[in-house]
Structures are given as structure tokens and as C-alpha cells.
Chains A and B, each alone.
Chain A
Amino acid sequence: MTYDAIVIGAGMSGLAAGIRLAMFDKRVLILEKHSIPGGLNSYYQRRNFDRGGIRQFDVGLHALTNFIKKGEKGKPFSKLLKQLRLSYDDFKLCPQSYSAIRFPETQLRFSNDFELLRSEVFEKFPHDIDGFNLLVEKVRAFNELDLSLGYSSSRQVLRSILKDDLLAEMLLCPLLIYGSAWEDDMDFAQFVIMFKSLYFEGFSRPEGGVRTIIGLLMNKLQELGAEVRFKTAVSEILVKNGEVVGVVASGEVLLAPVVFSSVGYPETVALAPSLEAKPRVGAMTFLESIFVFDHKIPLTANEATIIFANNAQTYAYRPAQNFFDDVSAVVCFPDNYEPHVRDGEGTVRVTYMANYQQWKDLERSRYLEMKQVVGESALALVHSLVPGLVEKPLFTDVFSPLTIERYTGHLNGTVYGSTDKTRDGRTPVKNLFVIGTDQGFLGIIGAMLSGISMANLHGLMSEAKQGE
């Protein structure tokens, strides 16, 4: 079979790229290894043995970043709506109440109104408010979409602007754990993307979770007549004279003059043996514990949506030394998005940093035991944050770096991909492009914008150029 373009992976970037290409009459084929779409932001279900029925879970979604109000213009989310021709209302966004960065003695709250964070910094770090304002201006003026930028260390930039190391650590904490492939630091361009997405714009969650977004994308693809094949793993990217010609998937040769790969840069190299690049596999991977209680959470008036808890003065963002790192965690209370529904079951999600190799080396029985240890630790943390919460959850699920690797195909269970990004999407193979996390945009919105901008640049604009 011959197509105008093949997209590997039906995650957020692959679906968005597929929509853009199909919108302008390209014959597009999207190939997905898993049986459902979503990639790193997919969903699953578990039978509810106690009560009958089925419980639905999102794999990764804590928050959709880049929140905008209806009609706001010039923001990543509004660009995405226009490019995919989707309507704001269809996303059914439920905004956060507020989120909190908690260090031992200090807490900084932030919400979808940036002034909350500024006033918190003014209150807790009055000696550094000028530095903070300077940083804000630098971030605002920075063009993070410049595809030609090289790496520069965010910690160095922060050190040169802020006086108080604690403030720098606290600001970095959510930005690192919600998007950095690098240990302990991140590229300043990525810092800017994250700062804008989290602090300037904020969090929301679509009603119905990630399925709502995936449903919109899949409907659009269907409307446009794009083909999506599930349970179809690509085993090889076919390259002839340094140029991509197609792929082999489930034993079938599929031809296309351009291929977009969302499986990660190192993973793409592994599929194209002649591709001369050695992007590193990132080290950052995570454990997620999900608890279901028989009532909504929390019970108190203190209704943070997400708490970034760190029990040390510095924020260590690196693989855990001992299976998982319980010094810091991200605790998400999906029930605390607006509007607060107060009846029905409640959910809490806890993310820990993990260590891939240690989990990989465990025997099956030890693996299950260790998952239980993680679940107990996460539950104790939840109880410490929500006093008065009923002791036993109705349901607990813990997934590990191995789970992530198995379902997404991302080597070593990395969530934010390789530390070697290819910002313009190019690879040494002509017309083979990387989209998604390893192209360097972050989060669900970033992933979709990555698919859009790479499809525009390499799938549509190149053609407009030839079309004289």
C-alpha cells in the first residue's frame, strides 16, 4: 500500500499530525502498536468486583496545562484549537482550584491567575520579589518556539537572577517533574515553555479525563478520512539511499515518501538501523499509585488540586536511589477541579520518581511486593495530607516504569523522552521526522502542537514550496 504520509504512534502528537495532513487531502496512515489511542496519555479500565461495573482511569493525566478562558487569543491552546479546527467548548475544561508547592517550612500556591503566585512569592520571599519579577519578564520576552535554540541550563539562569536558592528550587519543582527529560536541570527553553504553561496559564482537566481529548481527535480523523490501524507495531523504518521510503508493520510493507515518528528519538533510531544518530535514552521515569475511595476528597476546606510535596530544602530530580523516592511526590486530587461534585467515589493519584534498572532487575514475586510497598507509602502520604480520610481505599493500582515501557514502547519507561531533542524534527534520514516529546514540546498540549508544527513544516509547507 502507498500513502502520502505515515505516522508512527497514535498518541497526542501522532493524532494531531494526522489531522493536519488529512485536512489538506493527504492520504495518511497512523500506525499504533497498542489496541487503543493516546500513547503516554492513554486510559484503561478495571472491573469493580465489589460494586459491579467498571472503573475508568487515565494513565498519566494529572492536569492539562496551558489553560485559557474561552475566547483568549494568541496562546498555545488557542493556536491548537484553530489548527485542528476544534471548538473550545468540546474540551469541557474544568479549571483547577489551586495547586501548592510544599517544602518543609514554606508553601507557594499558584492558580490559573498568575497574580496568586506573585503575591505568594512577595509574602514568602519579600527579599527576592525583584528577582522574581525580573525572571517573569525574561520568561515573557523569551521566544521558546525558536527551533534553532541550543541547550542552556535553567539552574544557571535562575542563579544569576534570584538571590534565594529555596525560591529557585520551589519554582523548578513542578516544572521539572511535569516535563524534564534532564536530571536535576532542564533546558532553559523548556523551562520557559513550562513556566508559561503552568504558572502563566495553569491547569484544567477535561470533563471525562483524557478520553474526551482523544475522542475529539479520533472523531476529527474519521471525519477527514484518515486511516488508523491499532495493534499494528512498526518493526522497521525502510530507508533507501539515505531517504525514508516507508515502514514494515505487522509484516506488511507500507510505502510513503514521508514518515513522522512519535515513538521517541532513540526508539526511532532502533527501527531504522542505517540512521546514524545516537540519542541518549532519558533516565527519568516514574511510579504512579491510584487510589479510589468511597467518597470525594479531600474532606476539609483546603482543596488543592495538585500538591508538589518535597521534604527537603533542595529538589532532587533524578532516578531514585532505592526503587522509588519518597522524599518528594506529586499528589493529584482530580476531584478538586471545578465544579466540585461532592457525591460518588473519590480518586487520588501519587507520582514518585523511580529507578528503571532496579525495577527491571526484580523477579516477578519481588516486583509485586515492591509495588505494594510503593502503594503503602503513597497511601500514608495521602493520609498525612488529608486528615480524617477513611483508612482503606476501595481500590488501589500501582504502575511502574516497566508498565510504561510495555504499553508505550518508550525505552526504559521514560515519560519525557531522550535528553537529545531534535527541535526541528529532522533526523539524518531524509523525510523521516521526529514528533512528540523528543521534538521538544511538552505536555499534552505541547505534544499536539509538536505534531501540528512538524506536519506543517515538513508535510505541508515543503509541498507548498514545490507547488509553483
Chain B
Amino acid sequence: MADVRQIVIDIISDIAPDEDVSSIDDAKSLREQLDLDSMDFLDIVMELRKRHKVEVPQEDYPKLASLQSCVAYLGPKFATAPV
């Protein structure tokens, strides 16, 4: 199975190159730790779709709040995604 945590971190480092992603607390909200706004979350969603064909509908954006919730939410999607 794909390493969802690493996939999300890779995307964040590409869309916000100035952020330090090495010391993120998985349980805490990403917004609390990094300078990410709603535009950046849109980019995370768009990159998931572009790179991995994984769809996140708008009402599910809150499920991307922390790395932990990303893994919980995206894990099953990656398991069934056409890679």
C-alpha cells in the first residue's frame, strides 16, 4: 500500500516550499503548524487528483486537517485507486 503520509508531505513541500515539513506532529492540525490556507488545501486536493487520481469532494476537505486524519481518510482511497 502507498505511504499516504509521505505522499501528503511531498505535496505540501511542493506547494509550500518554504515550510519545514520535517517536524510535523501527526496528531495536530496542519494549519496550526504550517502556514497553509484554504487555497493551499485546494492545491493538496488538486495534486492528489492529478498525481494519484484520488478524488476528495469539497465536503470532505475537513478530513485533511491533520496528517493522522489524512492517512485515515485517504488510506482506503489509495487502496482502491487506479495506480
Which of A23, A24, A85 lies at the interface centre, i.e. has the most chain B CB atoms within 10 A of its CB? A24
* Contacts across chains A and B counted by CB atoms under 8 Å: 45
Report whether B58 and A83 are in contact in the complex, using a CB–CB cutoff of 8 Å: no
Interface pick from B3-11, B22-30, B37-45, B68-76: B37-45
Which residues of A have CB within 8 Å of B46?
23-24, 460, 464
Task: Give Cα A79–Cα B42 distance, bound, in whole angstroms.
Answer: 13
Contact A467:B37 (CB < 8 A) given known A82-B16, A83-B43 = no
Binding site of B, secondary structure by majority: helix, strand, loop or mixed?
helix
B residues within 8 Å of A by Cβ?
A: 14-16, 18, 35, 37, 39-40, 42-43, 45-46, 49-50, 55-58
Partner of B42, one of A74, A85, A460, A467: A460
Which residues of B have CB within 8 Å of A23?
46
Which residues of B have CB within 8 Å of A74?
35, 37
Q: How far is the CB of A424 from chain B (nearest CB, A)?
A: 15
B-contact bits for A59-101, CB 8 A (1 contact / 0 none)? 0000000000001011000110011010000000000000000
Report whether B39 and A83 are in contact in the complex, using a CB–CB cutoff of 8 Å: yes
Report whether A464 and B40 are in contact in the complex, using a CB–CB cutoff of 8 Å: no
Partner of A25, one of B37, B45, B50: B50
B-contact bits for A424-468, CB 8 A (1 contact / 0 none)? 000000000000000000000000000011001000110011011
Report whether B58 and A465 are in contact in the complex, using a CB–CB cutoff of 8 Å: yes
Task: Give Cα A468–Cα B58 distance, bound, in whole angstroms.
Answer: 9
Name 11 A/B residue pairs within 8 A (Cβ), A-sorted.
A23-B46, A25-B50, A82-B15, A456-B39, A464-B45, A464-B56, A464-B57, A465-B58, A467-B57, A468-B55, A468-B57
Closest B residue by C-beta to A70: B18
Report whether B42 and A461 are in contact in the complex, using a CB–CB cutoff of 8 Å: yes
Which residues of B have CB within 8 Å of A83?
39, 43
Report whether A464 and B50 are in contact in the complex, using a CB–CB cutoff of 8 Å: no
Report whether B58 and A79 are in contact in the complex, using a CB–CB cutoff of 8 Å: no
Partner of A73, one of B35, B55, B56: B35
**Chain A interfacial residues counted at CB < 8 A:** 20
Binding site of A, secondary structure by majority: helix, strand, loop or mixed?
helix
Task: Give Cα A105–Cα B82 distance, bound, in whole angstroms.
Answer: 72
Closest A residue by C-beta to B59: A465
Given A85-B14, A460-B42, A460-B46, 6 other A-B residues pairs in contact with their CB atoms under 8 A:
A24-B50, A82-B40, A452-B39, A453-B39, A467-B57, A468-B57
Q: How far is the CB of A89 from chain B (nearest CB, A)?
A: 12
Which residues of A have CB within 8 Å of B45?
464
Which residues of B have CB within 8 Å of A85?
14-15
Contact A456:B55 (CB < 8 A) given known A73-B35, A85-B15 = no
Which residues of A have CB within 8 Å of B40?
82
Within 8 A of B (CB), among A154-212: none
Task: Give Cα A396–Cα B7 distance, bound, in whole angstroms.
Answer: 57
Which residues of B have CB within 8 Å of A71?
18
Closest B residue by C-beta to A74: B35
Task: Give Cα A343–Cα B8 distance, bound, in whole angstroms.
Answer: 51
Closest A residue by C-beta to B37: A79
Closest A residue by C-beta to B14: A85
Task: Give Cα A465–Cα B57 distance, bound, in whole angstroms.
Answer: 5
Report whether A82 and B39 are in contact in the complex, using a CB–CB cutoff of 8 Å: yes
Which residues of A have CB within 8 Å of B18?
71, 73
Contact A467:B49 (CB < 8 A) given known A82-B15, A82-B16, A461-B58 = yes
Contact A464:B49 (CB < 8 A) given known A73-B35, A452-B39 = yes
Which residues of B have CB within 8 Å of A468?
55, 57
